[in-house]
Amino acid sequence: MAIGIHRKTVAYIDKKAISTNVQQELKRLNENVVLYAVVKANGYGHGAVEVAEAAKKGGASGFCVAILDEALELRKAGFSEPILIMGLVDAVYADLIVLNKLSVAVSSLDWLEQASEIVKSNGCEEKLLVHIALDTGMGRIGIRTVEELQEVEQWMNKSKTTCFEGIFTHFATADSPDQGQFKEQTEKFNALVASLPFKPPFIHTANSATALWHESCSSNMIRFGIAMYGLNPSGGILKEPYELLPAMRISSEVNYVKQMKLGDKVGYGATYSAKEGEWIGTVPIGYADGWRRDLQGQEVLVDGKRCEIIGRICMDQCMIRLPYQVEEGTEVTLVGENNKEKISLQDIANHLGTIHYEIACGLSARVPRVYS
């Protein structure tokens, strides 16, 4: 996809904010606990490589990604730190995983057997680094019973191709004030881990919400994602233990300004009728940029004033009601601060009835990311 470098619509990413969020979290952790920065999905839309750089500067010891290609992107960019692929990878790529010294989540003995054959047949000298996923109540991936876990452990104990590097689980409700499900999952996790005759080097359970609001089981690693980007995992329901600095600002411009007559229409479907004399501005961002069509009615900031998006959002443009005539080229802040007024990614998520994760990840490749 062509990146819109000749257009004023930009996502500004503050790498210092990312480093600071990581530093702040590290200060709260016990000495034996390491922080892996979660940079999957292009660093939640912020740019994986740049976020990884900023996180490393802040003290992250390793990285977590969701898919093999994301891990390879980091290796290609020169990162030699440990990288854990948290999602399931097809066993046929086991040799690529080993060659690139990656760690991978594993959910079954079948997978290990298949991967082991691939590793052997490719004559790989290094071992496959395995983190066993435990499903303690998320219902997504992972081993669920002591019997299955012991079978896997015994197999790995004898295996010459794999190294049992870690064991982990993922909580479904760590961002909720209700502790019931969290406690159940913790108990299940502890019981499963206790059934192992010896423990792997890494035991980990914490995403951002777990790290911020829960004593993390017997964990010695956290997988720090959304909070590193300066966003409250609970959507503001739970209070942050320290100030999270948002890393993303989205900005554009008013690139066309006109004064309307009473009843003049705006946008597809002609759903908006102007009042006499209203000033309408056009902003070059639309749903192809990830600025979703349902954001009709959301406000943006111009000269520190809140201006409503009126009419339907188009693929590449949208229209706003201006408080007065402004110069073409005037900045429009869609997310961030403008003359002391603020719109957060959380506000955008609230408008759409979703979570800020989705908005950040959904910002398309057409929008350039500019780093400071």
Ligand X SMILES: Cc1ncc(COP(=O)(O)O)c(C=O)c1O
Distance CA 150, CA 215 (A): 27
Measured distance CA(369)–CA(210) in Å, rounded: 29
Cβ pair 85, 102 in contact under 8 A? yes
Total residues contacting ligand X by CB under 6 A comes to: 11
Binding piece for ligand X, criterion CB under 6 A, among 67-75, 180-188, 221-229, 344-352: 221-229
Stretch that binds ligand X, among 152-160, 179-187, 188-196, 206-214 (CB under 6 A): 206-214
Q: CA angle at residue 331 from 328 to 333, to 5 degrees?
A: 140
**Which candidate, 127, 138, 203, 126, places its Cα nearest to that of 170?**
138
* 3-state helix vs strand vs coil in the chain, percent to 5: 35, 25, 40
Using CB under 6 A, which of 208, 216, 251, 298 touches ligand X?
208
Q: Report if residue 136 touches ligand X, rule: CB under 6 A.
A: no
Among 74, 86, 313, 348, the residue binding ligand X under the rule CB under 6 A is: 86
* Complex with ligand X: residue 361 or 365, whichever CB lies closer: 361
**Contact range with ligand X by CB under 6 A, out of 68-76, 116-124, 186-194, 202-210:** 202-210
Query: At closest approach, how far in Å is the CB of 106 from ligand X?
Result: 13
Residue 120 annotated as catalytic: no
Instruction: Given the residues 120, 242, 268, 275, select the one marked as catalytic.
Output: 268
Q: Which is nearer to ligand X, 119 or 228 (CB)?
A: 228
Q: CB of 208: closest distance to ligand X in angstroms? A: 3
Residue number, 172 or 196, with CB nearest to ligand X: 172
User: Distance of CA 7 to CAs 104, 139, 252, 322, 368, Å?
Assistant: 40, 44, 8, 21, 9
Interface residue with ligand X, options 161, 185, 207, 251 (CB under 6 A):
207
Q: If binding is defined by CB under 6 A, does position 104 make contact with ligand X? A: no
Tokens of 343: 């719109």
In the complex, the smallest distance separating the C-beta of residue 314 from ligand X, rounded to whole angstroms, is: 31
Q: Which of 368, 29, 48, 10 is nearest to 221 (CA)?
A: 29
Q: Are strands 34-38 and 62-65 parallel, antiparallel or unpaired?
A: parallel
The set of long-range contacts for 40-44, using a CB threshold of 8 Å and a minimum separation of 24, is 40/64, 40/65, 40/66, 40/67, 40/70, 40/86, 40/225, 41/66, 41/70, 41/361, 42/361, 43/229, 44/225, 44/226, 44/229, 44/357, 44/360, 44/361
Q: Is 244 or 250 the residue whose CB approaches ligand X more closely?
A: 244
3-class secondary-structure state, position 109: helix
| Structural contact between residues 138 and 105, judged by C-beta atoms closer than 8 angstroms | no
**At its nearest, how many Å lie between ligand X and the CB of residue 23?**
16
Closest CB 134 distance from ligand X, rounded Å? 11
Q: Which residue is nearest to ligand X (CB)?
A: 225
Return the residue matching tokens 């009843």.
263
Burial (CB count within 10 angstroms: exposed 0-12, middle 13-18, buried 19+), residue 329:
exposed
Collapsed DSSP state (helix, strand, coil) of residue 257: strand
Closer to ligand X by CB, 166 or 233: give it.
Answer: 233
Q: How far is the CB of 224 from ligand X (least distance, A)?
A: 6
The single residue of 15, 40, 93, 287 carrying the catalytic annotation is 40
What residues from 232 to 271 belong to the interface with ligand X (CB under 6 A)?
Answer: 233
Q: How far is the CB of 253 from ligand X (least distance, A)?
A: 31
Q: Is 268 a catalytic residue?
A: yes
Q: For ligand X, which stretch binds (CB under 6 A), given 13-21, 193-201, 222-230, 245-253?
A: 222-230
> Which contiguous run of DSSP H or E holds residue 134?
strand 128-134
Binds ligand X (CB under 6 A): choice among 15, 46, 131, 223 = 223
Q: Taking every pair of C-alpha atoms in the chain, what is the biggest distance, in angstroms?
A: 80
Site string for ligand X, 160-179 (x = CB under 6 A): ----------x---------
Cβ atoms of 253 and 283 closer than 8 Å: yes
Using CB under 6 A, which residues numbered 32 to 71 contact ligand X? 38
Q: Shortest Cβ distance from residue 336 to ligand X (Å)?
A: 21
The residues binding ligand X (CB under 6 A) are: 38, 86, 170, 207-209, 223-226, 233
Q: Annotated catalytic sites, by residue? A: 40, 268
